[in-house]
Amino acid sequence: MNKLYLGAIVAAVLMLIATYVSFDFKHGSSDIVNQIAILGAVVLVIATIFVVVKYVRQMQTDTATGELMSDNWDGVGEYNNPVPTGWAIVFALTMIWGMWYYLIGYPVNAYSQIGEYNEDTKVFNDKFEKEYKNVTGDKLVEMGESVYLSNCIACHGLNADGIEGQASDLNVRLEKSVIKHAIINGSNNHLLGSEMPMPDRNGLMNANNNYAPITDAEIDLVSSYVANGMSGAGADVFAGTCAMCHGEDGKGLEATAPNIASFDAALVINVIDNGKKGAIGTMPKFDVLNKKQKEAVAAYVQSISK
Ligand code: HEC
Ligand code: HEC
């Protein structure tokens, strides 16, 4: 048999084996779409081999006639044939279509989907803002509840309990473990809306001796105190170590430290705007909410938390 045909048969068998091996019969053989796909693959393999054989044979036997160009490259010449008319027309049309595409059809800087999306979103948000401008009080909380239900329950849960530690329990301002984590590691979450990190434990003073860092016992005590709603033992540690930044009542000081005694609107909005990384995990920021929706969900969080 001709060497060419032998090679073609070997190549076809190898490609069919490769197709067979890569096909997931266990999961796919009962599916009509997969059956059609594998049939298509077999047809492709056979057609490819057939076409390759045809052209290789043609190259082996074909001779051509005509006038050669004067240049040749290492003995390989080129026939001086005219450009086929059909080819020339298609080429010209492609150029015209290309110019039409860039200059008239889809001018490079005249339209973008993202631009259109941003414009539409802005128009919608302006309308939304205007329409709901006067929503306050209980109505705002109600609106916030619906924002919460559609954006936050996946992680924080229907009862806002954080679904067994997946996210913060929003019924309480802070859990003890979260407070401890912040004291030991510091915190850098833009909670005040700008870069204003809290130092880690080495940067926090000991309540009794201002030149030594806070001790393990003090951390435990003051964390319980804050988690208990600023009551019980640990008040002295708080007063000596935390109050200078967080305020004596823990409600935060302007541009110094956030409210850690209760949720306030600014804090919730900052968490939504910047996301948060802490003891529990990572909360993503929410670009999709507009100003009023953020205000509303903040009111809702305030309404459910103790
Ligand atoms: C030097 C000022 C300073 C001192 C002292 C300080 N904090 Fe902070 N604290 C901050 C700042 C600023 C933030 C906000 C950091 C951020 O943006 O993440 C913060 C954040 C926190 C948070 C995170 C709140 C949250 O919602 O996750 C907790 C908890 C906290 N502080 C507790 C304490 C306790 C308890 C003490 C005392 C042991 C203390 N801090 C001492 C400045 C301070
Ligand atoms: C992808 C999950 C996820 C979604 C969705 C999510 N959160 Fe969070 N959120 C978290 C995690 C995790 C934390 C805890 C971060 C940490 O370790 O302190 C958190 C923390 C928070 C805090 C900070 C609590 C604190 O003590 O400082 C607030 C407020 C909050 N989320 C509100 C919301 C609101 C409002 C929504 C809906 C608009 C929302 N979250 C959606 C995961 C999520």
Closest by CA position to 300, among listed 272, 280, 260, 259 = 272
Q: Provide the pLDDT confidence category of residue 50 given band limits of 50, 70 and 90.
A: very high
Q: Provide the pLDDT confidence category of residue 27 given band limits of 50, 70 and 90.
A: low
Q: Report which protein residue has its CA nearest ligand 2's atom 10.
A: 283
CA 266 – ligand 2 centroid, Å: 14
pLDDT at 294 over 70: yes
% of the chain with per-residue pLDDT over 90: 63
Give the pLDDT score at 264. 93
C-alpha torsion angle, residues 82, 85, 88, 92 (rounded to 10): 150
Q: Provide the pLDDT confidence category of residue 30 given band limits of 50, 70 and 90.
A: low
Say how far residue 271 (Cα) sits from the centre of its chain: 17
Ligand closest to Cα of 268 equals 2
Phi, psi dihedrals of residue 165, rounded to the nearest 5°: 80, 10
Ligand closest to Cα of 223 equals 1
Taking the CA of residue 173 as reference, the ligand 2 atom at the shortest distance is 26
CA distance 232 to 246: 18
Say how far residue 123 (Cα) sits from the centre of its chain: 25
Give the pLDDT score at 107. 77
Q: Report which protein residue has its CA nearest ligand 1's atom 38.
A: 242
Taking the CA of residue 238 as reference, the ligand 1 atom at the shortest distance is 37
Q: Which of 178, 198, 215, 218 to mutate to test the pocket of ligand 1 (most atoms within 8 A of CB)?
A: 198
pLDDT at 112 over 90: no
pLDDT at 103 over 70: yes
Q: Which pLDDT tens digit goes with each residue over 213-253? A: 899 999 999 999 999 999 999 999 999 999 999 999 999 99
Return the number of other C-beta atoms located less than 10 Å from residue 240's C-beta: 18
Q: Which pLDDT tens digit goes with each residue over 149-208? A: 999 999 999 999 999 999 999 999 999 999 999 999 999 999 999 999 999 999 888 877
pLDDT at 302 over 90: yes
Give the pLDDT score at 276. 94
The beta-carbon contacts of 122-131 under 8 Å, at least 24 apart in sequence, are: 125/290, 125/291, 128/290, 128/292, 129/290, 129/291, 129/292
Is the CB of residue 215 less than 8 Å from the CB of residue 240?
A: no
Taking the CA of residue 256 as reference, the ligand 1 atom at the shortest distance is 12
Taking the CA of residue 270 as reference, the ligand 1 atom at the shortest distance is 17
Closest by CA position to 235, among listed 244, 246, 217, 248 = 248
Q: Which of 156, 189, 223 to mutate to test the pocket of ligand 2 (most atoms within 8 A of CB)?
A: 156
Mean predicted confidence (pLDDT) in 10-18: 90
